[in-house]
């Protein structure tokens, strides 16, 4: 068995694998537990084969693990896999679609990120969320001020002296 390309659908506890040879014929389909999938893949697939997964945070982890073992890892954004799903969506069909999408010459792949890159991305996302929350709070405060201003004529930039004079 000479497997050249493998599509892997990652889930919380079960991984589905779909592997083909250079003639595009299916050589292996399996439903594997999280604890055994990597060992099982290494037994059946020679290093140098292409392994594809949908891009997500855990896919980057598994991509690094597979690269250490000598595999070529290709991560694909989920929206690019969707057109290759042939029937009702389930994990087995998703693994087959990932394998199919990998073979397309115009496919765009996501680079496997290092831990440092993932950490930096997490910091940026957290900061963007905090900025959004701060903006929402300021808008809420201005709305309260507008309501109060209509009743009192007070302005938040006015000093205590100017407020008492007016």
Tokens representing residue 161 in the block: 């002296």
Token duo for residue 70: 């000598």
- Across the chain, mean pLDDT equals 86
CATH architecture of the domain with range 3-112: 2-Layer Sandwich (3.30)
User: Which parts of the chain have pLDDT scores under 70?
Assistant: 1, 150-166
Phi-psi region of 83 (alpha: psi -120 to 50; beta: other; left: phi over 0): alpha
Q: Which of 99, 119, 129, 126 is nearest to 30 (CA)?
A: 99
Query: Closest by alpha carbon to 74, among 52, 41, 54, 56?
Result: 52
Please give the pLDDT value at position 126: 96
Q: Residue 163: what pLDDT?
A: 45
24: left (phi over 0), alpha (psi -120 to 50) or beta: left
Quote the pLDDT of residue 122: 93
Per DSSP bridges, beta strands 3-9 and 50-54 are: parallel
> What is the pLDDT at residue 151?
62
């Amino acid at each position: 068995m000479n497997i050249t390309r493998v599509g892997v659908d990652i889930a919380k506890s079960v991984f589905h694998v779909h592997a083909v040879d250079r003639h595009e014929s299916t050589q292996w389909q399996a439903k594997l537990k999280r604890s055994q999938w990597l060992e099982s893949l290494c037994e059946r697939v020679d290093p140098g084969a292409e392994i594809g997964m949908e891009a997500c945070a855990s896919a980057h982890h598994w991509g690094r693990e597979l690269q250490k073992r000598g595999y070529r890892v290709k991560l694909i954004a989920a929206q690019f896999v969707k057109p290759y799903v042939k029937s009702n969506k389930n994990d087995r069909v998703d693994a087959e679609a990932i394998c199919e999408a990998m073979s397309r010459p115009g496919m765009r792949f996501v680079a496997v990120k290092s831990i440092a890159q993932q950490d930096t991305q997490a910091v940026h996302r957290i900061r963007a969320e905090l900025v959004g929350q701060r903006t929402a709070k300021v808008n809420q405060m201005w709305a309260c001020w507008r309501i109060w201003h209509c009743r009192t004529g007070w302005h938040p930039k006015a000093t205590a002296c100017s407020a008492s004079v007016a």
